[in-house]
Amino acid sequence: MRRYWVNTVSREHVLIGTAGGFTQADHGRPDRLRRLGRCDVLVFYSSRTAMRGGEPLQRFTAIAVIADDEPYQVQMTQTFHPWRRRLDVLQSSEAAAKPLVERLGFVKDPQRWGLPFRRGLFEVTAADLQVIADAMGATVP
């Protein structure tokens, strides 16, 4: 059964990942990535343009479908070997998050709408994913 996810990642890292056809989460640990299944849909939320020192952004920045069955590990440096999942990135445009908060079920308090995104990678309903996909102009297969 298909599931739907949001991954909170800086725009800078979203662009690197989508260009390379992958996602990472939890600073490269595999635990939550293992919860993702082939054909699950993943939308990226970027609170900032860059992880360190970036400008505030608060936008949904990309949407993709998981294209593999298990996380895989890569060596980025001698001491950093993050885990990733392969993606099929969908055509989309960025969308501001704030105008959507009243329609998103995972936002329990519109005054503190950014709190859910602090969880990093988290599951959402199909209805929530559709609200976001529509705002991004994306067609989810």
Residue-wise pLDDT tens digits, 45-68:
999 999 888 999 999 999 999 999
| Residue 76: CATH number of its domain | 3.10.590.10
> For residue 112, what are the domain limits?
4-136
For residue 1, name the pLDDT band (cuts at 50, 70, 90). very high
Question: Would you list the DSSP string of 16-80?
Answer: HHHHHTEE--GGG-STGGGG--TT-EEEEEEEESSTTTPPEEEEEEEEEEE-SSS-EE--SSSS-
Does residue 141 lie within any of the structural domains? no
Does residue 82 lie within any of the structural domains? yes
Does residue 22 lie within any of the structural domains? yes
Residue-wise pLDDT tens digits, 79-89:
988 999 999 99
Q: What is the pTM of this model?
A: 0.94
Residue-wise pLDDT tens digits, 96-109:
999 999 999 999 99
For residue 92, name the pLDDT band (cuts at 50, 70, 90). very high
For residue 121, name the pLDDT band (cuts at 50, 70, 90). very high
Number of domains the chain contains: 1
For residue 16, name the pLDDT band (cuts at 50, 70, 90). very high
Residue 25 is predicted with a pLDDT of 76
